[in-house]
Amino acid sequence: MKLLAPSLLSADFVNLNLVIQIVNESPADWLHLDIMDGVFVPNISFGFPVLAAVQKHCQKPLDVHLMIVEPDRYISKFAEYGAQYISVHYEACIHLHRTIQNIRSLNVHPGVAINPHTSVHLLEDIIADIDLVCLMSVNPGFGGQKFIDNTYKKIEQLKNLIIQKNSKALIEIDGGVDVYNAQALIKTGADVLVAGNSVFGQKDIARAIHQLKEEITKP
């Protein structure tokens, strides 16, 4: 798959309505929502009131990335707010298998995000149960950081694991994605590219989405 998921984190929240409208009218596939608690990551983003507003107006599937400790406490609430994908961090879940079952039971696609230092091999016994792996290509917490090149190797390793375990999981890349690396990431095996600063940090958001989507879908 070749999907683009703009990340709202870098958007101008004063103009949320306009931003969502641009995304709705664009070839973006999903909208990526970063939830940060100031504990798992050294930053706080936004919570349920913003999510409610987004759900009301956004016509794209909502891809929720939980950068929070004890995600189980809030999973049903995120499902209520219309999440189609919920990714929890491997590093934040003691009983990851239970958490994944919990997400699945709410008819939401479960995903697991891993930090740059976390080996993809640790997913060996969960990969068949999940629909998405979010490979962090920056240390989570902030938009606009530099892409970590080791991610290419991790995509290849993850692709092999997915094939070996007969998993249907999509490979999502999150952090530092732009028009210069998008095509190479897809060619290496990525399915979904998250893009924050390279979309919402640009003057012409619609054009930025078009350009990224063009890079991703290039034959």
- Scan residues 119-138 and list those touching ligand DX5 (CB under 6 A): 138
Q: Choosing among ligand DX5, Zn ion, none, which partner's interface includes residue 141 (Cβ < 5 to 8 Å by kind)?
A: ligand DX5
Binding site for Zn ion (CB under 5 A): 34, 65, 174
Q: Which residues pair with 85 in a beta bridge?
A: 63, 109
- Compute the least distance from the CB of residue 219 to Zn ion, in Å: 28
Stretch that binds ligand DX5, among 74-82, 116-124, 139-147, 165-173 (CB under 6 A): 139-147
Q: Check if 34 is active-site.
A: yes
Total residues in contact with ligand DX5, by rule CB under 6 A = 22
AA identity, residue 7: S
Among 34, 37, 63, 131, the active-site one is 34
- Out of ligand DX5, Zn ion, none, what residue 63 binds, judged by CB under 5 to 8 A for its kind, is none
Task: Compute φ and ψ for 218, nearest 5 degrees.
Answer: -60, 135
Which residue shows structure tokens 């913003």? 50
DSSP conformation class of 214 = H
Identified catalytic residue from 29, 37, 174, 178: 174
* One character per residue 142-181, x = contact with ligand DX5 (rule: CB under 6 A): xxxx----------------------------xxxx----
CA 120/CA 87 separation, integer angstroms = 15
Q: Is 98 helix (H, G, I), strand (E, B) or coil?
A: helix
For the record, the structure tokens of 195 come out as 């893009």
Alpha-carbon gap, residue 167 to 173, rounded angstroms:
18
Catalytic residue status for 149: no
Site membership for ligand DX5, residue 141 (CB under 6 A) = yes
Residue 89 as a binder of ligand DX5 (CB under 6 A): the answer is no
Task: List the beta bridge partners of residue 3.
Answer: 192
How far is the CA of 14 from the CAs of 10, 20, 47, 58, in angstroms? 12, 12, 15, 16
The torsion angles phi and psi of 135, rounded to 5 degrees, stand at -85, 115
In terms of CB distance, is 12 or 125 closer to ligand DX5? 12
CB-nearer residue toward ligand DX5: 64 or 130: 64
Residue 202 burial (C-beta neighbours within 10 Å; 0-12, 13-18, 19+): middle
Quick check: 183 and 142 in contact, CB under 8 A?
Answer: no
Sole binder of ligand DX5 in the list 65, 109, 154, 213 (CB under 6 A): 65
User: Least separation, in Å, of the C-beta of 110 and Zn ion?
Assistant: 16
Using CB under 6 A as the binding rule, whether residue 7 contacts ligand DX5 is answered as yes
Residues in touch with ligand DX5 (CB under 6 A): 7, 9-10, 32, 34, 65, 138, 140-145, 174-177, 194-198
Residues assigned a catalytic role: 34, 174
